[in-house]
Amino acid sequence: MDQADRLRNMMGSTGRRTRVIAVASGKGGVGKTNIALNLAICLVRLGQKVIVVDVDIGLANADILLGSQPKIHLGHVLAGEASVLDALAPAPGGVFLLPGSTGMPLVSDLDDEERHFLVSSFQELEEYADILIVDTGAGITRNVIHFATAADEVLVITTPEPTAVTDGYALIKTISREKGFGRIRLVVNQVSGRLEGGRVSERIRMVSRRFLDLEVEDLGHVLADERVKMAVRRKRPFVLEYPQCPASGCLRVLAERLLADGGAQPKSFGQRLAAMGLSSDKSVPGGGG
């Protein structure tokens, strides 16, 4: 049995288009990776097949948060040394992870050909997933913008800190200038309570409405919770390690909200490429599928 067959056995083929959700932020360290992984686990609990792809090319660390040490990662896929299915690994909570390229001296931005190749590779993953969560890097790099626009929806993560809010708004502004971007939804992390979350998200929504003529949606908040830090130190997702902690409750609510409104019809492969400014008839180096 090759890896593709094993995966088909383990995950089953969904036969549906996959909903692609990018997790992004302006400022780094606001909780993207924690939210991506724990949200993925909550979505699995709700019956979804979920793959997390770590495309934080420079500082990939989703695998570290899961306590796993992948032998094959995105770096190998990009180098043409492994297929995307070879790199896919089962992770705690029933999630599958495509690990990023930790510790590889890779340039932080990919070129068009590499991006085309990656999106084509992700297309192969779509057979196995209802939802693909893309954990992007921090900052407003070409990579982040491209993955955010190719996705069906972007979760912009911010904290109440003024710097995170300003950078989050700058990211939204940049995405909104791209052709073919999807829904933009806010998650305010590390809040002291529901009121603070609502205040921060309302401020960003108001500025987006006024200056960008853009309706940004409020997905919700995650409470600041010491258990999140403890789980990080133990290299375990907090929804598994501390299912009863306040942050875990918040993540379950976010997952339920994501499923309650099923999202729009996911983009086709061609639409994803077009959103990245790439054409689908370009030849794919390394043979994406």
Ligand X SMILES: Nc1ncnc2c1ncn2[C@@H]1O[C@H](COP(=O)(O)OP(=O)(O)O)[C@@H](O)[C@H]1O
Binding site for ligand X (CB under 6 A): 25, 28-34, 138, 189-190, 222, 224-225, 228-229, 232, 247
**59/253 with CB nearer Mg ion:** 59
Using CA atoms, how far apart are residues 187 and 155, in angstroms rounded to an integer? 7
What is the biggest distance separating any 2 CA atoms in the chain, rounded to whole angstroms?
Answer: 56
Residue 189 makes contact with Mg ion by CB under 5 A: no
**83/190 with CB nearer ligand X:** 190
From the list ligand X, Mg ion, none, pick the one residue 224 interacts with, judged by a Cβ distance below 5 to 8 Å according to partner type.
ligand X
**239/275 with CB nearer ligand X:** 239
Using CA atoms, how far apart are residues 208 and 215, in angstroms rounded to an integer? 7
Using CA atoms, how far apart are residues 26 and 36, in angstroms rounded to an integer? 16
Pairing relationship of beta strands 96-98 and 89-90 according to DSSP bridges: antiparallel
DSSP state letters, 96-153: EEE---TT----SS--HHHHHHHHHHHHHHGGG-SEEEEEEEESS-HHHHHHHHHSSE
CB 74 within 8 A of CB 55: yes
**84/222 with CB nearer ligand X:** 222
**Burial status of residue 57 (CB atoms within 10 A of its CB: 0-12, 13-18, 19 or more):** buried
CB of 37 to ligand X, least distance (A): 8
CB of 65 to ligand X, least distance (A): 7
CB of 106 to ligand X, least distance (A): 18
CB of 256 to ligand X, least distance (A): 18
Neighbours of 170 (CB within 10 A): 14
**32/115 with CB nearer Mg ion:** 32
Determine which residue in the list 18, 25, 33, 48 makes contact with Mg ion, applying CB under 5 A.
33
CB of 174 to ligand X, least distance (A): 17
Choose the binding region for Mg ion from 26-34, 68-76, 115-123, 255-263 (rule: CB under 5 A): 26-34
Give me the residue label for tokens 């998650």: 187
Separation in Å, CA 144 to CA 22, 135, 201, 229, 276: 9, 9, 21, 25, 11
CB of 224 to ligand X, least distance (A): 4
CA angle 148/45/147 to nearest 5° reads: 10
**222/276 with CB nearer ligand X:** 222
From the list Mg ion, ligand X, none, pick the one residue 18 interacts with, judged by a Cβ distance below 5 to 8 Å according to partner type.
none
**33/123 with CB nearer Mg ion:** 33
CB of 272 to Mg ion, least distance (A): 22
Q: Which residues bind Mg ion (CB under 5 A)?
A: 32-33
